[in-house]
Structure 1
């Protein structure tokens, strides 16, 4: 057997190879596929006798900016290692798994067992680099991207440091709605009577009056101009004449990004790539640097290749997001909810600021939604827009006893609370064929592909997530473990409400009671479990987003924005609020920093 060779001209420049394996491949090009997050990922792999020569993704429909990064970067990593026994791309685990699976199938076609291939290990070279900036931004989510763009527009030299191989954060996978109170588009689309005071009143009611009123006021008085800035100067597009009804709000104040949140995030990434900012990917900030007076002077960071960066800056802005993916920082009941947020939300910024004596507030709270499906143990995906598709027809929510318990068009908060009072703390969407079509059509908007839905239905309720289909109501109820007799009565009662044009039980709005539930099958039932991503608590800042210590003093030159800042929402956030706050606070912080520096 000959030693397994590395296969790219690029690899010749790599450090000394430490380990390899002896194999013989059946030379040729082989094709295989595996299911990604939005459909099949098709891979062609070419082998010579003793090496993997090339890996090419020939078809994929993965999430732009996340899964597509894995599709671009992971084949290179596999080639370098000459093995699939390596780590995938952080934050793109489903796409990575699909690529590994497809390449493994190709390896098997080439006559080798994938487990035989021991990864080639290369020694990382130790290197140090020194950089300087007016503003260093730590974290490339919504607030970090907004700050980077505004900082460059204000003439600042900006370094953006991101630990993931892509930017976008939670904003890129949000629902796609954004608060737009006071914007020109809100008025243009017909909502002319909204105000900062009305917005604050709605947020306080939704957040049980636990909100930090200073931060909420900052948000309410700046979000409109932020939306105008995004639209007029940054080029973000919104769906025309679209101000959806949202139960949390007394006025129609949320816009929807054209193409969804992922398209918005991709656009911001493109703007950043062209505006002169220095973006360091795969680079983790390890420490905030300070002078002898405790003022922050920059950061120390290390990238995946072992390069250490010492970045001195006039101002440091932490935009590292929340801590939803760090169980040690969570409290119940959030800790037990299914997690569906980004893997990067591990509380890095909180920990760094706390090491300098920063003050926090409302750390025990997190935003829970009532519309999760458990796609793997402890992990969720959302059906929030699919539910809208069902409720626009005749879909209803029932408990395990087959009874309605809420107005299906109520706010997430007002659905979640009674859902948590049911016997198994979950709910079920019950649908006839028409409602199922509305539900099915909108599933991909939150990352559940039609291929996934078909697979879940084929499982027939035998494993999570629970998606079942029955020729009759009784058959569907039995598969889902729901009381069929009560469900039949519930359906009959709901249909009477449709006929009389009044929901006497829960006051579902008449415009969402246009049709009766069909008397003929098939019928569909989909589970609904609490899901969680966004933490409500975080750092305390002053009115310029300068981080505050426990003793009330400010930490010089250290700012925070986005989810990292606690208190704006109280104990719960309404629809479109989190991404709106991220973008607003990111821009606002960059402006305050520019004012200070200039």
Structure 2
């Protein structure tokens, strides 16, 4: 997904009509594509080949071009080797990875390859796909040169800090530098606490670097615009909508205190822009490319000015405890192998959840879709807390399910222009097509596709994926008249970054050129199915033929009569499928932006044990504590991000007060 500054005015305009893109907190992937920074030269020590064996007889020095698939497209490189098979330069010619995450990973891996003359390098946490891509591309270049690839892949990497232990101390230790962690660290420092903030990646900001907007209820900007939320009604509706399985005090605290967070952020130089979205109070974050820098400035002005530290590429491993079970600090491991023992009177967990841990998500929630959040969030913070007595909440397992994705998109982008490659995905957002589950049974009123949360949860409840059925007659209509041909009521509600590269073609009337070829390629790539008959499509897609054909006939009857007896779909969305094949089935999956909750907290953000009493010295903010707001899954609109900043601000103050009271 791309972030292009030249598109920003258009995208903000489009956002005014696309509610589906507004779920934030841990929003879907958004990326910018600046060039990777100038590559370093090989270090002076890198004057020998990867090992001491002779250079292969067929080795040829020179510069070789290679490429590999990254997270957001191909990464193309030029690798230069000298006569001794030493890699003297790696130039990234082209890449589209996420600024601040993938781009930093590319640069870090380049440096390690050049300085160590090795491919035996660990992927950068949070950017494994980008890391692996640059390693794969360099390996390909070595093969082209006839180099000793095995020697490069097996050469041991000596970490300078291996076996060393460094002891540090602070009043407050914050684990995780996303929106909530940075906010907690800054607010704690502003209250006079010495703070150490550790982050496992090289990036500050976490998922907030990828998000779009947050909700700060009745902020000064909202009130000055004339929009005011009725607080008591909002709180009451929230509680009912979550079936009362929430902490009413926590909801009240967020709704009544989040408006202050808007002013607090503005005062810190992190300016958000208010947007009245059909009565919703939303606040758009600063431009994507500026966010990490702004957060780093906040940390410098508060944490570092107060004598604290910000330590990146340091992964927390366990909590230290005292004789009475109180938390006394954190043990972490730096990327160079150094062990950190950080003593602290208060420890704040802001570790971002576990959505990157596929097995954990499946066990807790039964979800098998796509992780669209940060890959580094694998649940360490929760596990460390549980190990020392923190309670696993009764509603543990909730996730923030968001966009619908088509499995075919990535491969198609290597074969077609972005607009054409997005045909299957766009169809997954239209209410006028038939949707079925893996068995072939229709499972919803397809108008659910018009609302992100409804679309995501109805699909996830019915399996790891669903299928969007398209007939040849519908493809012909798309080729001739675009989405108007299948009576789409409005443009697909995809997040703006999905279509930023083809905004000129993203209209209802744009004909779908080569639609037949694209869908044939989808099938050939294994990301969809085709059948000349309904029975053949069912067989090829793994559906039950009897179930699917019966459902298809019922759907066609509903389209003819205008009455959907199964799901009550509105007449205007009941469009005939066509009575002759071939038929296609698009594999559609749901994007999970992050987990919701995992630690039970009170309104001072103290983590509670099985007796619902505070674990002394332990606090949690952001995603880890968000389960107090929701029942089994996130259903907010901008709440995730608004709560992250607000819980961090308030939780940091509480952690500082607790720490300083012990002195």
- CA distance, structure 1, for counterparts of residue 386 and residue 63 of structure 2: 54
Would the alpha carbon gap of residues 305 and 505 (structure 1) be closer, same or farther in structure 2, given more than 3 Å must change?
closer
96, 114, 123: which one pairs with 2:131? 96
Would the alpha carbon gap of residues 464 and 233 (structure 1) be closer, same or farther in structure 2, given more than 3 Å must change?
farther
389, 408, 428: which one pairs with 2:448? 408
The alignment status of 1:109 with 2:144, answered yes or no, reads yes
- CA distance, structure 1, for counterparts of residue 209 and residue 560 of structure 2: 39
Would the alpha carbon gap of residues 525 and 315 (structure 1) be closer, same or farther in structure 2, given more than 3 Å must change?
same
- CA distance, structure 1, for counterparts of residue 491 and residue 115 of structure 2: 43
SS at match of 1:219: helix
Aligned residue number for residue 308 of structure 1 = 339
Map Cα deviations across residues 264-317 of structure 1 (whole Å, 9 max, x no partner).
456434543665542212212233233444433322222121212222233221
Aligned residue number for residue 24 of structure 2 = none
The alignment status of 1:366 with 2:398, answered yes or no, reads yes
- CA distance, structure 1, for counterparts of residue 536 and residue 133 of structure 2: 34
185, 194, 198: which one pairs with 1:161? 198
Would the alpha carbon gap of residues 424 and 448 (structure 1) be closer, same or farther in structure 2, given more than 3 Å must change?
farther
- CA distance, structure 2, for counterparts of residue 234 and residue 372 of structure 1: 34
Aligned residue number for residue 70 of structure 1 = 105
557, 561, 568: which one pairs with 2:629? 568
- CA distance, structure 2, for counterparts of residue 274 and residue 460 of structure 1: 52
- CA distance, structure 2, for counterparts of residue 363 and residue 441 of structure 1: 30
Q: How big is the alpha-carbon RMSD for the aligned residues of Structure 1 and Structure 2?
A: 4.7
Would the alpha carbon gap of residues 131 and 160 (structure 1) be closer, same or farther in structure 2, given more than 3 Å must change?
same
Would the alpha carbon gap of residues 48 and 296 (structure 1) be closer, same or farther in structure 2, given more than 3 Å must change?
same
SS at match of 1:321: coil
- Matches for 1:14-53 after TM superposition, within 5 Å: 21-24=53-56, 25-50=59-84, 51-53=86-88
The alignment status of 1:211 with 2:246, answered yes or no, reads yes
Would the alpha carbon gap of residues 422 and 130 (structure 1) be closer, same or farther in structure 2, given more than 3 Å must change?
closer
Would the alpha carbon gap of residues 119 and 185 (structure 1) be closer, same or farther in structure 2, given more than 3 Å must change?
farther
Would the alpha carbon gap of residues 428 and 297 (structure 1) be closer, same or farther in structure 2, given more than 3 Å must change?
same
Gaps of 5+ in 2: 1-39, 409-421, 503-514
CA contact (8 A) 1:38 1:449 kept: no
SS at match of 1:253: strand
Map Cα deviations across residues 7-42 of structure 1 (whole Å, 9 max, x no partner).
8336479xx999655435422222233332333322
SS at match of 1:112: coil
Aligned residue number for residue 428 of structure 1 = 468
Offset of residue 492 of structure 1? 10
- CA distance, structure 2, for counterparts of residue 369 and residue 87 of structure 1: 30
Gaps of 5+ in 1: 1-5, 245-250, 377-384
Aligned residue number for residue 346 of structure 1 = 378
Offset of residue 372 of structure 1? 4.3
Aligned residue number for residue 559 of structure 1 = 619
SS at match of 2:236: helix
Would the alpha carbon gap of residues 564 and 331 (structure 1) be closer, same or farther in structure 2, given more than 3 Å must change?
same
- CA distance, structure 1, for counterparts of residue 103 and residue 530 of structure 2: 33
Aligned residue number for residue 445 of structure 1 = 497
Map Cα deviations across residues 171-203 of structure 1 (whole Å, 9 max, x no partner).
4445x23223222333455642x2333333343
Aligned residue number for residue 285 of structure 2 = 257
- CA distance, structure 1, for counterparts of residue 549 and residue 170 of structure 2: 65
- CA distance, structure 2, for counterparts of residue 178 and residue 503 of structure 1: 39
CA contact (8 A) 1:547 1:558 kept: yes
The alignment status of 1:356 with 2:388, answered yes or no, reads yes
- Matches for 1:493-532 after TM superposition, within 5 Å: 506=568, 526-532=586-592
For these two proteins, the number of residue pairs brought into alignment is 562
Offset of residue 573 of structure 1? 1.0
540, 543, 555: which one pairs with 2:603? 543
Offset of residue 91 of structure 1? 1.9
Aligned residue number for residue 143 of structure 1 = 180
Offset of residue 136 of structure 1? 1.2
Aligned residue number for residue 248 of structure 1 = none
- CA distance, structure 2, for counterparts of residue 371 and residue 92 of structure 1: 21
The alignment status of 1:319 with 2:350, answered yes or no, reads yes
- CA distance, structure 2, for counterparts of residue 470 and residue 328 of structure 1: 34
- Matches for 1:161-310 after TM superposition, within 5 Å: 161-174=198-211, 176-188=212-224, 191-192=227-228, 194-238=229-273, 241-243=275-277, 252-257=280-285, 259=287, 264=291, 267-269=294-296, 271-272=298-299, 276-277=303-304, 278-310=309-341
Map Cα deviations across residues 442-474 of structure 1 (whole Å, 9 max, x no partner).
577369988xxx9986742244544x8999x99
Would the alpha carbon gap of residues 388 and 171 (structure 1) be closer, same or farther in structure 2, given more than 3 Å must change?
farther
CA contact (8 A) 1:83 1:120 kept: yes
TM-score (norm: length of structure 1):
0.77
Offset of residue 62 of structure 1? 0.8
Would the alpha carbon gap of residues 44 and 211 (structure 1) be closer, same or farther in structure 2, given more than 3 Å must change?
same
- CA distance, structure 1, for counterparts of residue 423 and residue 225 of structure 2: 25
Map Cα deviations across residues 477-526 of structure 1 (whole Å, 9 max, x no partner).
999789799779969977998xx9x999757799xx8x99999x999964
